[in-house]
Amino acid sequence: MLILGIETSCDETAAAIIKDGREVIANVVASQIKTHEAFGGVVPEVAAREHLDTINIVVNEAFDIAKKDFNIDPDDIDAYASTVGPGLVGCLLVGLNAAKALSLVYNKPYIGINHLQGHVCANFLETDLKPPFICLLVSGGHTQVIKVEDYDKQEIIASTTDDATGEVYDKVARLMGLSYPGGIKLDKLAQEGNKKAFIFPEAKVKENEFSFSGLKTAVLRVVQSYDKDNLPVKDICASFQERITKTLINKTKKLADKYGIKTIVLSGGVAANSELRKKLFALQNEGYKTFAPQMKFCTDNAAMVASCAYFNPIKTDEPLTLEAFSRN
Ligand code: KG4
Ligand code: ZN
């Protein structure tokens, strides 16, 4: 089964064609980072307009790659999918309407997917991973631990009470004067710093909760205690990264133990983080099976959308009536 997926929930315009939920035929991503850099973050209206300008280009490129590399024609595509939410509604509408239009033109089904379930499915791309597993989903908008019992049977077993992990990364990066998108820059600087330079606190919350506002404030206090020119940026980055990744992995491990599941996987943009991946893979020494999506499938992409359309679509008898939504 060949599915063309489209992703436009935030600041990436993406189209991909995936065979049977796992095999990548074409994967095209156009990032808007350069556009939003000047504003220090994503401007929803600007993002939506850029999706409109780019959507036909990325879809055509996906079709072209499929033809050139696999001799697949548009008529061979079995279904068209897009992210329905959560995300920026003006942005989502562009991908949703493009996928619905393609489905009507080629007379094939339209499939809607939830962006978060899409991130989980990034783990199925070019792997043979099968449920059950525990998934730590860390993105710009969410921090969740999800018990994936089967492809379409998932339960959120922990989530954040305040900021999402990517959000904390971006805010802490900004405190230190790093420009948008801060998460990846913070990660790079952290690799050159001393992770023991500062001891940041861990929030005392329930086993099914994360909270990062205290950590954010603790970093702010340290930043304020230096004058700007002498700020030990690399050490603060390393110490912050050590604290947050330790909390995320320890908590996920405890929940995996609680539910007796020995496979742990990552997903979402922060799954690209070097230290988080290192700590996850180190769990193999303790008898866990671990997976993380390839780097290109961590941040927003359409390959995960097409995979999710195959494994875990939004269930409805009338997919063409699905409407974009901003929050879960
Ligand atoms: O999943 P994603 O592409 O978009 C959302 O669905 O939110 O995640 C984007 C988030 C941003 O907050 C970005 O700063 C963060 O992922 N991110 C990282 C890294 N790469 C991306 N955070 C920490 N370390 C990274 N290497
Ligand atoms: Zn995302």
Which token pair is 311?
């494994």
Residue 266 sits at φ, ψ, to 5 deg, of -110, 160
What are 285-294's pLDDT values in tens digits?
999 999 999 9
* 74 φ/ψ sector (left φ>0, alpha ψ -120 to 50, else beta): alpha
Q: Is the CB of 268 under 6 A from ligand 1?
A: yes
Ordered structural domains, the chain, with CATH: 2-125+298-321 (3.30.420.40), 133-293 (3.30.420.40)
Cross-strand bridge partners of residue 266: 136
Report CA dihedral (37, 40, 42, 44) to the nearest 10 degrees. Answer: -110
Of 135, 139, 242, 277, the residue with max ligand 1 atoms within 8 A of its CB, to mutate for a pocket test, comes to 139
pLDDT < 50: residue spans in the chain: none
pLDDT of residue 27: 98
Residue closest by Cα to atom 5 of ligand 1: 140
Q: What's the N-to-C CA distance of the chain in angstroms?
A: 28
Q: Is the CB of 140 under 6 A from ligand 1?
A: yes
What are 34-81's pLDDT values in tens digits?
899 888 889 999 999 999 999 999 999 999 999 999 999 999 999 999
Q: Is the CB of 300 under 6 A from ligand 1?
A: yes
Ligand 1 atom at minimal distance to the Cα of residue 300:
3
Q: From the CA of 90, how far away is ligand 1's center (Å)?
A: 21
pLDDT of residue 328: 80
Angstrom distance (rounded) from CA 110 to CA 322: 10
Q: Is the CB of 10 under 6 A from ligand 1?
A: yes
Q: Is the CB of 166 under 6 A from ligand 1?
A: yes
Cross-strand bridge partners of residue 12: 31
Which-ligand-closest: CA of 142?
A: 1
Which token pair is 240?
């912050």
Angstrom distance (rounded) from CA 18 to CA 11: 22
Angstrom distance (rounded) from CA 217 to CA 221: 6
Ligand 1 atom at minimal distance to the Cα of residue 140:
7
Q: Is the CB of 141 under 6 A from ligand 1?
A: yes
Q: From the CA of 53, how far away is ligand 1's center (Å)?
A: 24
pLDDT of residue 90: 98
Residue 225 sits at φ, ψ, to 5 deg, of -80, -5
Nearest to 1 by CA among 22, 26, 27, 19: 19
Q: Is the CB of 118 under 6 A from ligand 1?
A: no
Residue 244 sits at φ, ψ, to 5 deg, of -70, -40
Residue 59 sits at φ, ψ, to 5 deg, of -65, -45
Ligand 1 atom at minimal distance to the Cα of residue 299:
3
- How many residues in total does the chain contain? 328
* Three-state SS letters, 146-173: EEEEECCEEEEEEEECCCCHHHHHHHHH
Angstrom distance (rounded) from CA 13 to CA 8: 5
Q: Do the beta carbons of residue 64 and residue 70 sit within 8 Å?
A: no
Q: Do the beta carbons of residue 211 and residue 162 sit within 8 Å?
A: yes
